Amino acid sequence: MGMKFRGYRRPDGRVGVRNYIAVIPSVFCANKTAELIAGKVEGAIALRHPLGCGQIGYDFELTARTLIAMGTHPNIGAVLVVGLGCERFTPNELYEGIKKSGKPVEMIIIQEEGGTLPTVEKGVGIVREFARQEFNRPREECDISELMVALKCGGTDATSGLAANPTLGAMSDLLCEQGGSAILSELNELLGTEDILAERAVSEDVAKKVYAAIYEVEDILRNRIDERYEGRNALISPGNFSGGVSSIVEKAMGGVHKSGSSPIVDVLEYAVPPESGKKGMFLMNYESHDGEVVTGMIGCGAQIVAFTTGRGNPTGFPFAPVVKITGNEFTFEQMKDNFDFNAGDIISQGTSIEEKGKELLDMVIRIANGEKTKSEWIGADELFCVGRRDL
């Protein structure tokens, strides 16, 4: 019998580990109005973003796809769409996209309501009614196969590749063995590992997807190099160098350990969930910074984020718990308010990676059941950041 957790079953069959009401602006012009509405109802969150207008092509598609994916995400119980009324990404498209999930969703438009204050007044009433309905929803027992964990690192140091990332890999392998799923991305920091990843692909077609995704990222990065700004062309941050990581190759060889050794079942596009019934280890085709990558993996369906950092990182996500893991015992003691899990005893005491992986999976299950992470207690929400790719 597989492991279980207690989650929230949504009308489309997916399972959440949290139960928030989301207020989503369709355009940046509606951000403050959305924040004013959400701020008046406990358990409501506003998803502030700088987009929704002035975009074309694939860049525009990423915004539409991502905001709809946020609204349909199983950690969200109900949604209020707040539009301005003249934006390129219409509030109706966002509303209709979320409505397909079967969850409660309403829409209000600032220009039609007569301005900010009438919109806030009406919006607060809608969100309060959503809260009355949703916050009495009980958790129910769910199989671990309903769980997907996003695998991420940021603020890497030498201990990340030695302890924290291998622990995350061991946890991921256990999760996938139990029928659950994990997802890895940030391909700009996996350059050079394509052969390792492709060897784990479940089929030749998936292996081709792995190579295509990483080679595409190489091409994008090569085209962005500008010799006029030599000091701006480094692929890893100054903090990585200070932490003992000498190059992108070293970071990639440490970072790939986050995915363990499980077979790679598919390569997903940004904020696009897997085919129904497909479970296991996934790769998401995207390159960029922590926020954009985490947002995309959550858009693919991850309910929890496991985030390793040796230098320390205080960030969180508005509606998905972010578990902070380090292999650096000094950093863990220095930033206790930000860390959930210390894998440093792998280095200091010789604790096995397998043992720490099991401990981490136990913590992930507790978090899925409702235990709060440090980032949740702080209220950190910086990792919500809609992806952009200007081709």
Residues counted in the chain: 391
**Which residues, given as ranges, of the chain have pLDDT below 50?**
1, 391
- Residue 32, token pair as written in the block: 């403050």
Q: pTM for the whole thing? A: 0.93
pLDDT on residue 243: 58
* Separation between Cα atoms, residue 49 and residue 175, nearest integer Å: 32
- Residue 156, token pair as written in the block: 């890497």
Q: What is the dihedral of CA 257, 262, 268, 274, to 10 degrees?
A: -140
* Separation between Cα atoms, residue 111 and residue 5, nearest integer Å: 44
All structural domains of the chain with their residue ranges: 20-134, 143-378
Label each residue of the chain as H, E or C: CCCEEEEEECCCCCEECCCEEEEEECCHHHHHHHHHHHCCCCCEEECCCCCCCCCCHHHHHHHHHHHHHHHHCCCEEEEEEEECCCCCCCHHHHHHHHHCCCCCEEEEEHHHHCCHHHHHHHHHHHHHHHHHHHCCCCCEEEEHHHCEEEEEECCCCHHHHHHHHHHHHHHHHHHHHCCCEEEECCHHHCCCCHHHHHHCECCHHHHHHHHHHHHHHHHHHHHHCCHHHHHHCCCCCHHHHHCCCCCHHHHHHHHHHHHCCCCEEEEECCCCCCCCCCCCEEEECCCCCHHHHHHHHHHCCCCEEEEECCCCCCCCCCCCCEEEEECCHHHHHHCHHHCCEECCHHHHCCCCHHHHHHHHHHHHHHHHCCCCCHHHHHCCCCCCCCCCCCC
pLDDT tens, residue by residue, 236-283: 566 665 656 555 666 677 779 899 999 999 999 999 999 999 999 999
pLDDT on residue 391: 43
pLDDT on residue 351: 97
Kindly give the pairing relationship between strand 181-184 and strand 281-284.
parallel
Q: What fold does the segment set 20-134 form as a domain?
A: Rossmann fold (3.40.50)
pLDDT tens, residue by residue, 200-247: 999 999 999 999 999 998 887 777 677 776 665 556 566 665 656 555
